[in-house]
Structure 1
Amino acid sequence: MTHHDGAATVRPLALAWVSRYLEAGERIVRAEALHGGITAEMRRLTIGTRDGGTRDLVLRTFVDVEHAEDWLSREADALLLLTGTGVPAPALVAVDPAAAHCEYPSLLMTHVAGRTVLDDEGLAARIPLLARQLVAVHALRPAQRPRGYVALTTADTVVTPKSADAAAWAAAVDVIRKPAPPYAGRFLHRDFQPGNVLFDVPSGQPADARITGVVDWAATSWGPADLDVAHCSTVLALLHGPAWGLRFPEAYEEAGGVLAATANERLYWLVRDGLASSEEVQQVTQPWREAGRPELTARIVEERLDAYVTALMDALG
């Protein structure tokens, strides 16, 4: 087996485990690290087939990550649920959530063609695609609901950027001190954003992009559609500028999605996710820079987050 780089090396126990799920006469001929993730190691495994061809699998490994067993179990359940639904996602091959066979909790799945696209170019065409895809996710009605959503921040854990508009942030924090508004429950991806959506983009034609897959289903939950929309809005604001974050809820409704009935209820979810991002700016910016956005320093992203939160309070507060 050849390795694309040192990070691609598959650990011995995991290698033996993966081999159990190959067809007779197949073998792993290549491993390549997939970069861009925050919590998991991702490796694309090229499998040599009996007829001389190849196929790809993806090995997802959590190394010293709290709640890894729960996350991988939920992802496995989600991938099984998504089979045959029309939502493009990997198919589950095997899962070892408690590391009974591998060195660390691991999940093996099929490889989905496409790539993440984080560039500004072509974004106007991708926004409606993202919105329509999220509406399709929220339309799923599983026989067994996943666990209820978990809020990712509290009023007391918000990290206000040093140069932020203090008044706007104080007002935003006051918003999430209130009880959560009532909502109609939906199946949530819970981390739906450009980094977890794969596209096919014809060369030189970014406006003709199409979605080929949605990945990273480890945080699937049951909760308000507004929460998924708010998260994607926040990430769009940080990647591309506040105006794009404000645009996404409109695109979601244009695609047929239904959000909270009142402006104050919508503000609660949008602000909650925006403030949650204040605690992880350092975490998200490094993978973005590695993925081809070197200008997205922690300072730039903090400035965009401040501008986005301020814009939310100006527009809806």
Structure 2
Amino acid sequence: MNITLPKKTLDWVVKSIGEGAKIQRVQPIAGGTSSTLRELLVCRADKTESYVLRMFSNKEWLEQEPDLAQHEAESLQYMRCRGITVPQLIAFDQTGEECGLPATLMTKINGEVVLQPMEEQVWIDELALTLAKIHKTEGEEFPFEHFSYNNALTMERPLWSKVPNEWMRAFYIAAGIRPQTQLSFIHRDYHPSNVLWEGGKITGVVDWVNACVGPIGVDVGHCRVNLAQLYGVSTADRFLAAYQNYSKESFKYHPYWDLLSLIDILDGPPSVYTGWLEFGMIGLSDELIQHRLDEYLLSLLDRFDEH
């Protein structure tokens, strides 16, 4: 589906790519919920290449973090030449003055999102190995630091849950003293919809807007809570085992960070992420997601009691 962009936006893209660039096609990219993603097919000097334009259109998010475009730009530049394939930054517009909205323009990585793998354990192992590689970067001088999205002290009793008392206990734990842990450069939004595949191998990792220096367990926990919603607790646990295998002694698991990551995704009654539907996961429902999150919570509280 070919769509149109405002002339101001197109002019900024052409200027950023360079003299002689001609935009041949603009089409939407699946999976974008908090920003608008477009793929641009551009011809320049008899060569045709694809680019990705991210426009930060969520006003509430921009009010909370007005430097989103700069954040992603610095994350992409930081991760270049560090062993992980990420998009190459072309340009960014911090304020939207040139593009029309705050935006980042980057190259497009080959590959596609895979949520229904043929060999699930191989898929899990690849996910875990790639995250372990990301965490080899310590984050020296990277200016963005981890913060929690939700304040556990102000979380309300979840009326949607069948185990609300256990959720209140989790809020109490998350609001307590945080355990000492390893800090590194973390993606902060690492999950299967932000990983691209080709031929059974990961070709790259995208969506670096939230990257920061923070607890490794936050990255592991965020991926686990996504896996728990998509496939169930056992898949999330298999991912943890695979990650521990690849990270060796550099990672000491503590269930606190899983609980914190779980609480951080809560924003009203849990529902199906629209990106999952766009990528073909049509068997999900809000009720199933809520049931799986209850089960995942109980598994984490068991781990916490045993730790």
- TM-score, scaled to structure 1: 0.88
How many percent identity over aligned positions? 29
- Show structure 1 runs of 4+ deviating over 4 A: 280-284
- Which of 242, 245, 261 does residue 254 from structure 1 map onto? 245
CA drift of 1:313 comes to 1.4
Quote the residue 2:39 is aligned against.
44
Deviation at 1:256, TM superposition (A): 2.0
- With 19-28 and 8-17 compared, the bigger mean Cα shift is at 19-28
3-state SS of 1:162 partner: coil
Query: 2:184 and 2:233 mapped to 1: Cα distance?
Result: 26
CA separation of 1:159 and 1:113: change in aligned 2, threshold 3 A: farther
Equivalent of 2:108, from 108, 111, 124? Answer: 111
Residue by residue, what CA displacement relative to the aligned partner does 1:141-185 show, whole Å, maximum 9, x if unpaired?
344123220112222225625242233323222211212112222
State the Cα deviation string for residues 202-242 of structure 1 (Å, max 9, x = none): xxxxxxx1100101111111111011000001001111111
Counterpart selection for 1:56 from 50, 68, 81? 50
Q: Name 1:199's counterpart in structure 2.
A: 197
How many residue pairs get matched?
300
Q: Which position in structure 1 is the counterpart of 2:261?
A: 273
Superposed displacement of residue 244, structure 1: 1.2
Q: Is the 8 A contact 2:272 2:289 kept in 1?
A: no
Which position in structure 1 is the counterpart of 2:209? 218
Mapped partners of 2:81, 2:144: distance in 1 = 22
Counterpart contact for 1:227–1:269, Cα < 8 Å: yes
C-alpha separation between the residues in 1 aligned to 2:145 and 2:157? 25
Q: Shift of the alpha carbon at 1:273?
A: 1.1
Give the conservation status (yes or no) of the 8 Å contact 1:88–1:214.
yes
Which residues of 2 match residues 1-317 of structure 1 at below 5 A?
A: 4-5=1-2, 8-51=3-46, 53-65=47-59, 66-67=61-62, 69-119=66-116, 121-155=118-152, 156-157=154-155, 160=158, 162-201=160-199, 209-257=200-248, 258-260=250-252, 266-279=254-267, 285-317=273-305
Cα distance in 1, alignment partners of residues 268 and 146 from structure 2: 19
TM-score in terms of structure 2 length: 0.91
Please, which runs of 5 or more residues in structure 1 have no aligned partner? Answer: 202-208
Q: Kindly provide the amino acid, as one letter, of the partner of residue 275 in structure 1.
A: I
Structure 1 counterpart of 2:70, which letter? S
> Which secondary structure state, in structure 1, belongs to the residue aligned with residue 218 of structure 2?
helix
Q: CA deviation at 1:283?
A: 6.5
Task: Identify if the C-alpha distance between structure 1 residues 283 and 113 changes in structure 2 by more than 3 Å, giving closer, same or farther.
Answer: farther
SS of aligned partner of 2:214: strand
| 2:255–2:303 CA contact under 8 A, matched in 1 | no
User: Deviation digits for residues 55-107 of structure 1, max 9, x if unmatched?
Assistant: 11110001143335422111101111112222110000000011120111111
Residue 273 of structure 2 aligns to a residue in which SS? helix
